[in-house]
Structure 1
Amino acid sequence: MQQQVYHSQSIQAWEQRWFSQQNSSYGLMKQVAWAIAQRLIHIFQQQGVSSIAVCCGQGNNAGDGYLTAKYLSQAGFKVDVYAAPLGISKDLHYAELDARESGLNVFSGFEFKQHYDAYIDALFGIGLNRHLNAEWQSILQHMNTQSGLKIAIDIPSGLQANSGQPLPCAIKADYTFTALGLKAGLFTGQGKEYCGQIHIIDAIPVDDQLKPIAALSPVDICLPKRQAFGHKGSYGHVLIAGGHASMGGAVIMAAEAAFHAGAGKVTVACDAKHHTAILSRAPNIMLCDINALTQDEIRHLIEHVDAVSFGMGLGRDAWASAQFKAWFPLIQQSDLEAVWDADALWFLAEQPECLKAQSYATPHPGEAAKLLGISTQDVEADRLGAIYQLQKKYSGQWVLKGAGSLILEDRLWICTAGNAGMGTGGMGDVLAGMAASLKAQFHEDIHLHEIVTLHALAGDYLARKGMRGLQAQDMAQAVHHVVNLTAE
């Protein structure tokens, strides 16, 4: 079953609808805290935790912290509470009184009296949308320097719940216990850096008005089994076009990825100076000199393939501009599955045009910023908004790459696979080649979010021996592994 992801405001509205039905807000707070405490008891017993500091802020998130502290204390752990001055919430006052009456020490401020085995963050909840002042930044950084286990209630304090961006810093949690529903910021942007293992605390029934904004892309992807009588013409012909005279590596990696993802045939159109290098690595790749092709020959080539990936290593000079103007309209007029990547997106931004339905664009945040005419910081501050703006402006289907890649087809998906080692040159070229290959083979029977997830899983397979130094040119065998591992 797909895991649904919600906007923080939708979660808050859901809570209010629940309370309007005469359900107790304080009762919900106690229920959430009790569930968190029960899960923490098991984790703490496994990891030898005996002493715990619970850090409480000024909102209802702090109320969860006070009550979690109480329940952990009742379970036999040594628990101290460190707190900011109380806010105006009635439930928060009840929770603080409940904690004190249970015999807990409640210290004012966040100067820890001793070292603790674990630190629970209940400072800010999902409503935080402002940059923290210097005092709060210092408190969060002080908590991060402690050597004990870090636990976040609902979301790591300082992390924006929908974008996954720190404001400007956040608690780096080992575990996050998020209440009621999953929030997008736990999975995209910098969320993975701060959230650790994520556990959801279900507490109230979903109502008809609660609508998800995205789903987590499943990692159990099954590709159809190949038929015994299949041949190279059965599995799609992929065209990789790009490869400026000074940039040949991108088309090589894209073409190799296309073959290793299962394409029956792959043709590369690039500057002829790269042909020898390509054949020395993969003699099964067919080649043509992009400089020698007439418009009629480009049209003929397009008519005889099933998918094209255009833009890798294209460059941005006058030669590249001429190539874009020659290829773009012909691809747009065709029935091909078309992947637009790298420098093709730069030219698309310079000459905006709506893409045809079978188009798959794969920008990183910098390219997305160029396409939208905003800054990279603006894209990262609202990744969900950015990808919707891209589709509204250009049509087609979109991948906003990065940690927790977003994929917008008929709905929004978030990829949870992948690792930091994939932040290296050429990984996008591999994805572009895979996308063209799998679309050439399966067309509408494979979705873009599944392709992105397979690419991420290949990166995870490659990173088993370590993320540092991971190279895109080594991805081919990992791609081969995941597309076969997931075959029915």
Structure 2
Amino acid sequence: MQSSVYYRKDIQDWEKRWFAQNNSAYGLMQQAAWSLYTQISLIFLEQQQKIGRVAVCCGQGNNAGDGYLVAAYLKQAGFDIDVYAAELGSSENLKTAYQYAEAEGVNIIAGFDFEQNYDCYIDALFGIGLDRALDGYWQGIIYSINDQSALKISIDIPSGLHADTGRALPCAVKADYCFTLLGFKAGLFTGQAKEYTGQLKLLDLIPRDSKLKEMAQLSSLKINLVKRQAFGHKGDYGHVLVVGGHAQMGGAVMMSAEAASSAGAAKVTVVCHGKHHTAILSRAPNLMLRNIDEMKQSDIRELLEQVDAVSFGMGLGRDVWAEQHYLTWFTELNQSNLEVVYDADALWFLAKYPAHLNLNSYATPHPGEAVKLLGKTVDEIESNRVLTIQQLQNRYAGQWVLKGSGSLILQEQLWICTAGNPGMATGGMGDILAGMIASLKAQLHEHIELHQIVTLHALSGDSLAQSGMRGIQAQHMIQAIYKQVNLQ
């Protein structure tokens, strides 16, 4: 099932509307804490090592109130609980939760000098409202928690992680489990989030109202591709054109074309520098070849009439030769009705010659390419990936994928891919994705969405990572893709 994702302010406003209907704020805190206690108790039962001693780390906001109540409920269940606490804030609900924990006999210790080793640390330091860089004091506390070898559980969001951007400020608790409250926040899925969130679960506590607007959807991990008909033939399953391949860079078009074939395209033609033809045929004799230097504009137009989708820019280069070919091909592609993927060096030239892409265009930059396209720094790009992809579409139109951990996909709405792993951070993975997009669009057109293809690519990488992440290479994806598109 697809899941909605929200900005933190929209969740906070939704919560305020709930209280404005005479629902109790403290009652919701109790409900949240009881749900947290129930989930945490189940986790404790699943641990191989018995959980006995638990440290609950409480800050100064409502997140800390949840922590005090969870501590009280765990104490009632017979666990050995210590609360390490900051000075109480002004919230009456927080004070009430503190007093309840104290009345239940919870040992509350001022400060965060952990007095013994614990089996579990529960993080209730900061909630979703944190939007400032943590000072040295709080950084020290978070590093101290992370240094512990015990189980770590975060309430709502790992403390130190920005709820909208997934950016550590500049550090965050590295949780084994995170139970987020009310609704999913974008910062739990993109940017640096995967380093901190661990296993993530939503505790859905109150009904959504009509004023609550989602900012994105999580792309489903279950993708059902349209089945092929028994009487189908190769003319029914798409012809993909892959264009690129500078004299010094032949591997990119090879991998993109092989990915297109493995994803199911019936025919794939590669247009590249002629010196790569022998190598390409030796690897994949099913591919068709054209020499990019021997094609006139009329030849390009004739070829475009024969294909269903194009993957453009892999290994094209950035010299005068590449620039001439880019300008020639882009003019024809952007005026056509074909579905076109712009990747790699095509994006570099798009930044140099800005233009509005047509609706059937799919641009797939990594953060470094987004830097060139928007004239920003890498830090500016990565500090707010959601804003980045929105600015890319506003400037260039078309549909966009901002690659990276928690890849973002912007079509008519924003999608977040939750699959994928660090082993995929290797050269050529983008070429593989570009070939997959062209292939599946050539076959299925409107029957598959861009975010679904990105997810299939990520799931293929995850299947490889089952044997280990270190050393995964882009060419390993070819067989993984073939298996993934045939799982349905």
Smaller-chain TM-score bracket: over 0.9
- Rounded to whole Å, the distance in 2 between the matches of 1:152 and 1:198 is 10
- Rounded to whole Å, the distance in 2 between the matches of 1:467 and 1:345 is 28
Corresponding letter in the other structure for 1:398: W
- In the TM superposition, what is the alpha-carbon distance from 1:95 to its structure 2 partner? 1.0
Give the alignment partner of residue 398 of structure 1, picking from 382, 397, 400. Answer: 400
**C-alpha RMSD of matched pairs (Å):** 0.8
Q: Which residue is equivalent to 2:200? A: 198
Question: Tell me, which stretches of 5 or more residues in structure 1 are unaligned?
Answer: none
- Rounded to whole Å, the distance in 2 between the matches of 1:461 and 1:23 is 46
Q: Which residue is equivalent to 2:12? A: 12
- Rounded to whole Å, the distance in 2 between the matches of 1:485 and 1:324 is 37
- In the TM superposition, what is the alpha-carbon distance from 1:239 to its structure 2 partner? 0.4
Aligned length: 486
- In the TM superposition, what is the alpha-carbon distance from 1:252 to its structure 2 partner? 0.5
- Rounded to whole Å, the distance in 2 between the matches of 1:415 and 1:455 is 10
- Rounded to whole Å, the distance in 1 between the matches of 2:220 and 2:125 is 32
- Rounded to whole Å, the distance in 2 between the matches of 1:314 and 1:137 is 45
Q: Residues 307-326 of structure 1 correspond to what in structure 2 (within 5 A)? A: 307-326=309-328
Q: Residues 29-428 of structure 1 correspond to what in structure 2 (within 5 A)? A: 29-47=29-47, 48-428=50-430
- In the TM superposition, what is the alpha-carbon distance from 1:231 to its structure 2 partner? 1.7
Find the residue that maps to 2:84 and give its secondary structure: strand
- Rounded to whole Å, the distance in 2 between the matches of 1:61 and 1:348 is 46
- Rounded to whole Å, the distance in 2 between the matches of 1:318 and 1:83 is 63
Q: Residues 409-488 of structure 1 correspond to what in structure 2 (within 5 A)? A: 409-486=411-488
Corresponding letter in the other structure for 1:259: S
Residues 176 and 197 in structure 1, CA contact (< 8 A), matched pair in contact too: yes
- In the TM superposition, what is the alpha-carbon distance from 1:406 to its structure 2 partner? 0.6
1:413-465 per-residue CA deviation (whole Å, 9 max, x = no partner) reads 11111111101110000000000000000111110001000001111111110
- Rounded to whole Å, the distance in 2 between the matches of 1:307 and 1:166 is 39
Matched, 1:24 2:31: no
- Rounded to whole Å, the distance in 2 between the matches of 1:448 and 1:46 is 38
- Rounded to whole Å, the distance in 2 between the matches of 1:159 and 1:140 is 11
Corresponding letter in the other structure for 2:156: D
Find the residue that maps to 1:465 and give its secondary structure: coil
Find the residue that maps to 1:316 and give its secondary structure: coil
Find the residue that maps to 2:302 and give its secondary structure: helix
Corresponding letter in the other structure for 1:31: Q
- In the TM superposition, what is the alpha-carbon distance from 1:134 to its structure 2 partner? 1.1
- Rounded to whole Å, the distance in 2 between the matches of 1:64 and 1:315 is 55
Find the residue that maps to 1:107 and give its secondary structure: strand
- In the TM superposition, what is the alpha-carbon distance from 1:202 to its structure 2 partner? 1.4
Corresponding letter in the other structure for 1:225: K
1:337-368 per-residue CA deviation (whole Å, 9 max, x = no partner) reads 10000110111111111001100010111111
- In the TM superposition, what is the alpha-carbon distance from 1:145 to its structure 2 partner? 0.2
- In the TM superposition, what is the alpha-carbon distance from 1:294 to its structure 2 partner? 1.1
- Rounded to whole Å, the distance in 2 between the matches of 1:297 and 1:133 is 63
Residues 306 and 337 in structure 1, CA contact (< 8 A), matched pair in contact too: yes
Question: Tell me, which stretches of 5 or more residues in structure 2 are unaligned?
Answer: none
Corresponding letter in the other structure for 1:6: Y
Corresponding letter in the other structure for 2:40: L
Residues 232 and 265 in structure 1, CA contact (< 8 A), matched pair in contact too: yes
Residues 462 and 470 in structure 1, CA contact (< 8 A), matched pair in contact too: yes
- In the TM superposition, what is the alpha-carbon distance from 1:89 to its structure 2 partner? 1.4
- In the TM superposition, what is the alpha-carbon distance from 1:291 to its structure 2 partner? 1.2
- In the TM superposition, what is the alpha-carbon distance from 1:96 to its structure 2 partner? 1.0
Moved over 2 A (4+): none
Corresponding letter in the other structure for 1:312: M
- In the TM superposition, what is the alpha-carbon distance from 1:128 to its structure 2 partner? 0.6
Residues 226 and 447 in structure 2, CA contact (< 8 A), matched pair in contact too: no
1:131-186 per-residue CA deviation (whole Å, 9 max, x = no partner) reads 11111111100100001000000000000001111011000000001000011111
Residues 53 and 79 in structure 1, CA contact (< 8 A), matched pair in contact too: yes
- In the TM superposition, what is the alpha-carbon distance from 1:260 to its structure 2 partner? 0.4
1:52-108 per-residue CA deviation (whole Å, 9 max, x = no partner) reads 000001111111111111111111111100011111111111111111111111111
Corresponding letter in the other structure for 2:161: L
- Rounded to whole Å, the distance in 2 between the matches of 1:228 and 1:444 is 21
Corresponding letter in the other structure for 2:325: Q
Structure 1 length-normalised TM:
0.99
Identity %: 63
Residues 37 and 73 in structure 2, CA contact (< 8 A), matched pair in contact too: yes
Corresponding letter in the other structure for 1:76: G
Corresponding letter in the other structure for 2:266: G
Corresponding letter in the other structure for 1:42: L
- In the TM superposition, what is the alpha-carbon distance from 1:315 to its structure 2 partner? 1.2
Structure 2 length-normalised TM:
0.99
Find the residue that maps to 2:277 and give its secondary structure: helix
Residues 303 and 334 in structure 1, CA contact (< 8 A), matched pair in contact too: no
- In the TM superposition, what is the alpha-carbon distance from 1:378 to its structure 2 partner? 1.0
Tell me whether 145-154 or 230-239 shows the greater mean CA deviation. Answer: 230-239
- Rounded to whole Å, the distance in 2 between the matches of 1:387 and 1:238 is 26
- In the TM superposition, what is the alpha-carbon distance from 1:246 to its structure 2 partner? 0.6
- In the TM superposition, what is the alpha-carbon distance from 1:199 to its structure 2 partner? 1.1
Residues 151 and 174 in structure 1, CA contact (< 8 A), matched pair in contact too: yes
- In the TM superposition, what is the alpha-carbon distance from 1:201 to its structure 2 partner? 1.1
- Rounded to whole Å, the distance in 1 between the matches of 2:382 and 2:103 is 45
- Rounded to whole Å, the distance in 2 between the matches of 1:379 and 1:13 is 27
- In the TM superposition, what is the alpha-carbon distance from 1:38 to its structure 2 partner? 0.7
Find the residue that maps to 1:52 and give its secondary structure: strand
Corresponding letter in the other structure for 2:199: Q
- In the TM superposition, what is the alpha-carbon distance from 1:233 to its structure 2 partner? 1.4
Find the residue that maps to 1:396 and give its secondary structure: strand
Find the residue that maps to 1:485 and give its secondary structure: coil
